[in-house]
Amino acid sequence: MGNNNPQVKRTVTTLRKMKQDGEKIVMLTAYDSSFARVADEQGVDVILVGDSLGMTMQGRETTIPVSVDDLIYHTSCVSRVNKHALVLADLPFMGYTSPEMALRNSARLMQESYAHMVKLEGGAPQVETVKQLTFHGVPVCAHLGLQPQSVHKLGGYRVQGRDAAAAQQMIDDSLALQDAGADMLVLECVPVSLADTITEKLDIPVIGIGAGGGCDGQVLVLHDMLGITPRAPRFSRDFMAAGDGTIPGSVKAYIDAVKDGSFPAEEHCFA
């Protein structure tokens, strides 16, 4: 059976093979059992239990207040019904200020809520943390570009890597994180040309969100792609309107659009 069969269990190995084979990887957020079941049954490759739950589930303005306990609770809800997707859980703001803290919280996410992989934001300063997690057998997804946990430091939700120095730093950081043992990379809100360069340079899968169609896969926030977010970001698309009007049909429309390359289109990207 090929990787495009939704019944095949997704692992770090299968995702890397999908990159090698040129098959697009589809990631989607879910925070509870009902939506996780739909995502899994429709064939989403990776379910991200993101700290975006702060906005989508808790009504907060940012991801900053989300705790490790919050993520354990929501990841547990997802894991109970998931059968085929790889479950990726965010490490929250201030949840990995040292390699030791990152290891402790990653262990909780994997042991208590059955996450398969953890995600953390940041470049060079996180290299030692990624090394430590990798040494202890924790699969890691790195996150570069717009980093929502640093939104106050960045001065808002802005495209990252537009000047030459920042672009080169992101390239260097991505290679350093891969060398440290990261198994996957998310690029958020970066120019298409920069995302393409990083995707070509890395052996690990690169998942884009507002980073163009040249990435190895795409991720969206569930509530954005269902058209129920009050102000959806430019890089998203209302797949409820594009599908058959049902939630399973909308998720399937998203999967199909990523797989066939019709999403993201030019209007969802940044130059």
> Annotated catalytic, 61?
no
Does 264 sit behind a cis peptide bond, omega within 30 degrees of 0 on the bond before it? yes
Query: Any binding-site annotation on 51?
Result: yes
Q: Give the active site residue among 188, 200, 266, 267.
A: 188
Q: Between the CA atoms of 215, 221, 224 and 225, what dihedral angle is there, to the nearest 10 degrees?
A: 60
Residues 6+ away with beta carbon under 8 Å from 232: 224, 238
Residues 62, 55 contacting (CB under 8 angstroms) = yes
Partners of 187 in the beta sheet? 144, 208
Helix residue ranges per DSSP H, 27-114: 33-42, 53-56, 68-81, 99-113
Query: Any binding-site annotation on 90?
Result: yes
CA distance linking residue 89 with residue 103, whole number of Å: 14
Query: Any binding-site annotation on 121?
Result: yes
Query: Any binding-site annotation on 131?
Result: no
Binding-site sequence positions: 51-52, 90, 119, 121
**Binding site for Mg(2+): what residues are annotated?**
51, 90, 121
Instruction: Write out the binding residues for 3-methyl-2-oxobutanoate.
Output: 51-52, 90, 119
Task: Please list the active-site residues.
Answer: 188
